[in-house]
Amino acid sequence: MKARKIVLLTADVILLVVCIVQFILSKKDNVKTFTITDEVTQILIEKADGDINLVKENNNWFIGDKKYPANQSSVDVLLNAASSVRALDRMGSASNENIIAKYELGEGKNITVTVKNSDKTLRVLKIGKESSTGTQSYITVDDGSDVYLISSNLHSSFSKSVDDLRSKNIFTLDKNSISGVSVVEPDESTWTVRRSGEGENLAWTLSGTDVEEKEVDGAATTDWFNTLATLSTTKWYDIGEVSGSKERTLKIFSGNKTVTVDLYSIEAEKPTYYAICSETPYPFEIPSYSVQKFQKKLVDVLK
* pLDDT (tens digit per residue) in 269-294: 788 999 999 999 999 999 888 999 99
Q: How confident is the model at residue 19 (pLDDT cuts 50, 70, 90)?
A: very low
pLDDT at 28: 44
Residue 110 burial (C-beta neighbours within 10 Å; 0-12, 13-18, 19+)? buried
Phi/psi region, residue 111 (left: phi>0; alpha: psi -120 to 50; beta: rest), is beta
Distance CA 185, CA 38 (A): 54
Average pLDDT over residues 182-199: 93
pLDDT of 159 reads 95
| Residue range 184-207: mean pLDDT, rounded | 93
1 pLDDT exceeds 60?
A: no
Mean pLDDT is lowest, of 102-106, 146-150, 269-273, for: 269-273
Most confident range (mean pLDDT) of 144-148, 258-262, 264-268 is 258-262
Residues 6+ apart with CB under 8 A from 282: 68, 236, 237, 238, 239
What distances in angstroms separate CA 82 from CA 38, 78, 142, one per listed residue? 12, 6, 12
**β-pairing verdict for 190-196 and 178-184:** antiparallel
Find the mean pLDDT for residues 49-78.
Answer: 96
Mean pLDDT of the 213-239 span: 95
CA dihedral 161, 163, 164, 165 (to 10 degrees): 90
pTM of the model: 0.79
Residue 297 pLDDT class (50, 70, 90 cuts): very high
